[in-house]
Amino acid sequence: MKKIIITKEKIIALLVLLPYVENNFLQKYIQIYFDSTYIRAISVVSILVTAILGALVIIKRRVIFNGIKSFLSAFIIYSLFGILLSWKNLVNSFCVWIWVCIPMLFAIVVTDYCDLTKVNYLSVIYEMIKWFGLYVIIVILYYIPVHHLFIDSSVRLNPRGGGAVIFGYTIAVIFALAVMYRDIFKNKKEFYLILVILSIGALATASRAAVWPVVFLWIINFMWTKMSTKKLIFTIVLIPVFIFLTMVDFSKMSTTTTFIGLGRLFNTTSLRRSQTVANIINLFSDFGIIRKLFGFGLGNFFPYQKWCLYVNDVDLNMIGYNGVAILVQPHNSFLYELMEGGIIGVTLIGSCFVWAIKTLLKCKNSNYIFGLAFIGVMILVNCFDSVFFVQPGVAGSFWLLLMLAINGSKQQSIHEKNSK
């Protein structure tokens, strides 16, 4: 019997599953409520983890601010300054600051702890992908008998930690990370098994912004690697099938004939979202220079937390500003920050991705193209939903995955140079 060895890399990798520990028990006993806002249980858990690891880092005096850490730290301070200016709405703004900034601080501290303990970043990434793949299997196996997943077309894979859509986005990001680091797997069978598991999970969420990146990454993975006859045939068949599926209006089909509700993947009618985007852009263009630069401050424009408290009333997901109707959150992280943090806030968030891209191009190891695809997927899903601002657990995972991916790329470049 093979002996199971517990390493610090495996333990740290478990943090990728942190968003999914939020259950009814934690929500009942550690979630903190106020009149029109609240601090989610997962935020409290993240604060505790951050405090413990942060204490270990500070004791060793190894806090290092560079790259993404610098931009996120600047954003945290900038947002905190905005809270102080909105003293009339101080409690609400501070709660939103916890929702948005604790995930950033969590990622910074975990990465600093990894540097302090000199972990193997490639091993952490490998273990994270495996842990997440195992979790996807468990959730699917639970949903099939209990909720009739793949049988009832109205059922989607909808675990805790953000629901079906956000879970689908996370699968797409992990899928991109797996493709980026395909060389760290023991063999091709293990690599493709993980991709198949994640692909089934993405399909089961019936989320468009999750499935299309997965399909795209399958294609470029086959096209970029050595093209065997089987891979060539697969790619030649897959591309026209993909084009055909995007052209067919499956949303008009009966749900009884649409496997696991895949009609959702092709239903592009999202009028409220498109109207919100257009209205936000029009509103922003009419703001004065000060408002454009600094925004309204966190928690002072989108009443998302208040809406969550009264989510049973569907009509409350629309608000009015100067006679213009918009959603309680724009389903776009960058538009969200544009309104609440202004151009300065968006610039700080965007700088994280710019720096990440520059670092990948500088490393230019064998997988840097897939690294760019990974960053592209993370940006894409945040253009489809405000992940960084409305899901604190998943936001923490996303920021951590971004930092680990970049540090892993640096480590991989060193290994490749030493092996020459």
What is the per-residue pLDDT for 2? Answer: 58
- From residue 4, alpha-carbon distances to 1, 7, 10, 17 in Å are 9, 10, 11, 20
Q: How far apart are CA 198 and CA 134, in angstroms?
A: 10
Token pair listed for 321: 């500003």
CA 117 to chain centre: 26
What is the per-residue pLDDT for 257? Answer: 39
DSSP letter (8 states) at residue 295: -
What is the per-residue pLDDT for 13? Answer: 95
Mean pLDDT by 10 residues, the chain (420 residues): 76 95 88 88 95 86 73 92 77 92 95 90 96 96 91 85 91 96 91 94 89 88 67 58 46 43 51 88 94 92 87 68 89 96 96 94 81 94 95 96 93 75
Entry pTM: 0.89
Q: Identify any residues that bridge with 32 across adjacent strands, giving them in sequence order.
A: 39
What is the per-residue pLDDT for 167? Answer: 96
Q: How far apart are CA 14 and CA 33, in angstroms?
A: 28
Query: Which residue pairs from 39-44 have beta carbons closer than 8 angstroms and sit at least 24 positions apart in sequence?
Result: 39/95, 39/98, 39/99, 40/99, 40/392, 40/393, 42/18, 42/161, 42/392, 42/393, 43/98, 43/99, 43/102, 43/392, 43/393
Identity at 250, one-letter amino acid code: F
Tokens 């049973």 correspond to: 312
What is the per-residue pLDDT for 234? Answer: 59
Q: Are 201 and 149 in contact (CB under 8 A)?
A: no
Token pair listed for 48: 């505790």
What is the per-residue pLDDT for 144? Answer: 92
Identity at 401, one-letter amino acid code: L
What is the per-residue pLDDT for 36? Answer: 79
